[in-house]
């Protein structure tokens, strides 16, 4: 492991970790052996090649994971990549519940990381679904049809912001909840803001 590739913010993150500390440290050593640059993004250790995100280490209640930013483009020869939710288009995880699992998979993990680096070197991009391919919930479509300014403002948002709204408005099972969400966020859409802005 090369010392100049580590990041003091990751050192701090690891020193404060209560859960998954040993797992994080083991994953960190494996990733750094692959000659990636350690950064700290989205409150987690993130590893880049030529400033491009390759993998992120993160933890949840039930597991910790290494996340491949363009995991959908990997061959997944071992069949171990997991799509977190049906809405995640590019990223894929490999999950762990203990250090032993990580140690046993070190060779495989390095092969996946090296493949991810090659994907980045080749300039490959994930073919994201277009916003027009997502189904707009009826409650939101009605408002877009009723209020031309809302339709114009929504279409002016970035595709990612549009998808976030469509997903958020589609989640509830009950129509009244969907209506309530649409009405709550209409003012935000009208001023050109995304769901989380």
Global confidence as pTM: 0.67
Tell me what pLDDT residue 1 has: 40
Q: Is the pLDDT score of 48 beyond 90? A: yes
How large is the average pLDDT for residues 38-64? 95
* Mean pLDDT in residue range 96-119: 97
Residues 44 and 28: their CA atoms lie apart, in Å, by 11
Q: What is the dihedral of CA 99, 102, 73, 48, to 10 degrees?
A: 70
Integer Cα distance of 104 and 15 in angstroms: 24
pLDDT at 187 exceeding the cut of 50: yes
DSSP category for residue 50: T
Distance CA 176, CA 40 (A): 41
CB 36 within 8 A of CB 113: yes
Q: What is the DSSP string of 124-149?
A: ----PPPGGGSPPPHHHHHHHHH-HH
Q: What is the pLDDT of residue 2?
A: 41
pLDDT at 4: 53
- pLDDT tens by residue, 56-107: 999 999 999 999 999 999 999 999 999 887 767 789 999 999 999 999 999 9
- How would DSSP label each residue in 56-85? EEEE-SS-EEEEETTGGGS--TTS--B-SS
* Residue 13 contacts residue 44 (beta carbons within 8 Å): yes
DSSP H or E segment with residue 93: strand 92-96
Q: Mean pLDDT over residues 115-129, rounded?
A: 87
Looking at residue 54, what is its pLDDT? 96
Asked if residue 15 has pLDDT above 60, the reply is yes
| 3-class SS of residue 105 | coil
Spatial separation of the C-alpha atoms in residues 1 and 130, rounded to whole Å? 41
């Amino acid at each position: 492991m090369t010392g100049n590739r580590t990041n003091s913010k990751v050192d701090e993150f690891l020193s404060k970790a209560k859960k998954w500390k040993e797992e994080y440290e083991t994953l960190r050593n494996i990733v750094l052996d692959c000659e990636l640059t350690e950064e700290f993004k989205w409150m987690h250790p993130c590893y880049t090649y030529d400033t491009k995100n390759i993998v992120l280490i993160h933890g949840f209640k039930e597991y910790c994971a290494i996340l491949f930013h363009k995991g959908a483009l990997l061959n997944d020869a071992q069949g171990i990549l997991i799509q977190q939710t049906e809405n995640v288009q590019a990223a894929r995880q490999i999950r762990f519940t203990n250090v032993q699992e990580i140690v046993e998979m070190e060779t495989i993990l390095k092969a996946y990381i090296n493949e991810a680096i090659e994907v980045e070197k080749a300039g490959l991009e994930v073919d994201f679904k277009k916003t027009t391919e997502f189904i707009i919930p009826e409650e939101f479509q009605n408002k877009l049809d009723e209020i031309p300014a809302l339709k114009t403002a929504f279409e002016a948002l970035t595709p990612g912001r549009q998808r976030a709204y469509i997903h958020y408005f589609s989640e509830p099972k009950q129509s009244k909840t969907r209506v309530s969400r649409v009405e709550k966020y209409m003012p935000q859409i009208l001023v050109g803001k995304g769901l989380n802005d």
